[in-house]
Amino acid sequence: MEPAARAGSALLKLAADKALLIALVYLLLGLLWILGSDSALNALFTDPDLVARMQTWKGWFYVALTAALLYVVLYRVLRSEAAQLLRQSRQREDLSLLNQFRESIIDNANIWINVLDAQARITVWNKAAEQISGYRRDEVIGGDGIWTLLYPDEDYRNDIARRVRAILEEGLEVEGFETRMRCRDGGYKIISWNQRRFFSENGELGSIAIGQDVTERKRLQQELERMAVHDPLTGLCNRREFEALAGARFADCVAEGRPFSMLWVDIDGFKGVNDRFGHRVGDEVLRGIADVLREAVGEHGIAARYGGDELVVALPACTATEARAMGEEVRGRVQHAALLEACGEQGVLVTVSVGAAEGDGSVADLAALVSAADKAMYRAKASGRNRVCGPED
């Protein structure tokens, strides 16, 4: 039996016990009055007619007295009952207003709120849920098919369903649980959920979920994280990120006995480009060469802007021969990219000088390998520019 039903039964039993007690007291007092009053009249009066008249008056007095007492008792009871009914009426009105207010607050909240029953069917779906998901309330209330639409991937949907069942069956409380859902317009949004179960007044089990659309926040967070490790002009890794990533890969290659090579790419005459065409054009040239580098290297290496017009590429598991071939590909692509055509300078080429170096027993760490590639690049400059040189050239 539910707690509310048990409390109601206890109150009814208490009322019955009190009523029985009052009836017994009234019965006892009535018997005492009859027996006592008759004995008193017989002791006070000897005339039978007078005794009979006095007994009649005694009866009327008893009726009047009990009627007065009954009136007082019933008046107090009925007044209390009327006051209680009035309080209950006001409470119902207050609860109705409170429910309307609560429903209004839930419906007009700027965060997603939905309520599920024990079978994970939707019972509440507020306006924010409609706006975020694109699905109207009348389309989802009373069913659970919405989850197939929001989470089309079956494995992902089943994982979320297991978590919901744990909330309903085990009382698990969820805070900050993020899901990626597919909205009606085909776009995806990231929702951060807080969810817990509850029991209604009649003991029915359900759960309430509050979701916040964090899509834009996550995008900004990812953008900030990307900006922290990438050069804002070229989109390549910045120096700090390059040293962290390349350092880890270099250590792995050394431990596994695999080769590791480095390219140092420097733009020939870049100062002249800036002086002649301006820094805006210089920036475009840098971006163009970064694009060439990114396309040529692909997934084989780690490209970065090391500083100024100096670009570097770490090539794990690549020999010096393979690194020089990569350097030649980059040099050739830059030469034929016609990066200054937008300035109306036909036939004016932008070229790069590339230094290549491979880690071996004489190279102690990544910094030494970078330095060796840098020196090889200067040899390429000294040899006439627009070429690739290694440590032995």
Q: Hey, which residues does 354 pair with through a beta bridge?
A: 265, 388
Both structure tokens of 120: 């994970």
> What distances in angstroms separate CA 334 from CA 53, 248, 259, 286, 350, one per listed residue?
137, 29, 27, 11, 7
Both structure tokens of 91: 């409470």
Contact between residue 265 and residue 333 where contact means Cβ atoms under 8 Å apart: no
Please give the Cα distance from 288 to 233 (Å, whole number): 11
Both structure tokens of 303: 């490209």
Among the listed residues 337, 313, 338, the one whose alpha carbon sits nearest the alpha carbon of residue 327: 313
Please give the Cα distance from 97 to 109 (Å, whole number): 18
* pLDDT score recorded for residue 101: 52
Contact between residue 290 and residue 308 where contact means Cβ atoms under 8 Å apart: no
- φ and ψ of 202, to 5 deg: -95, 15
* pLDDT score recorded for residue 4: 52
Q: Hey, which residues does 4 pair with through a beta bridge?
A: none
SS3 144: coil
DSSP character string of 195-222: EEEEE-TT--EEEEEEEEE-HHHHHHHH
The overall longest dimension of the chain from CA atoms, in Å, is 157
User: What number of residues does the chain have?
Assistant: 393
Residues in Cβ contact with 289 at an 8 Å cutoff, skipping those fewer than 6 apart: 265, 267, 311, 334, 337, 339, 350, 352
pLDDT per residue, tens digit, the chain (393 aa), is: 555 556 557 767 777 777 777 778 777 877 777 777 777 767 777 777 776 777 777 778 877 877 888 788 778 877 877 888 777 777 676 656 555 555 666 777 788 999 888 888 899 899 999 999 999 999 999 998 999 999 999 999 999 999 888 988 888 888 999 999 999 999 999 999 999 988 876 777 888 899 999 999 999 988 888 888 899 999 999 999 999 999 999 999 988 889 999 999 999 999 988 888 888 889 999 999 999 999 999 888 999 999 888 999 999 999 999 999 999 999 999 998 888 876 666 667 899 999 999 986 566 688 999 999 999 999 999 999 999 999 877
Instruction: Centre a 10 Å sphere on the Cβ of residue 371 and count the other Cβ atoms it contains.
Output: 15
CB burial string 306-328: b at 16+ within 10 A, e below: beebbbbbbbbebebebbbebbe
Q: Hey, which residues does 311 pair with through a beta bridge?
A: 265, 305
> What distances in angstroms separate CA 194 from CA 124, 144, 158, one per listed residue?
16, 19, 19
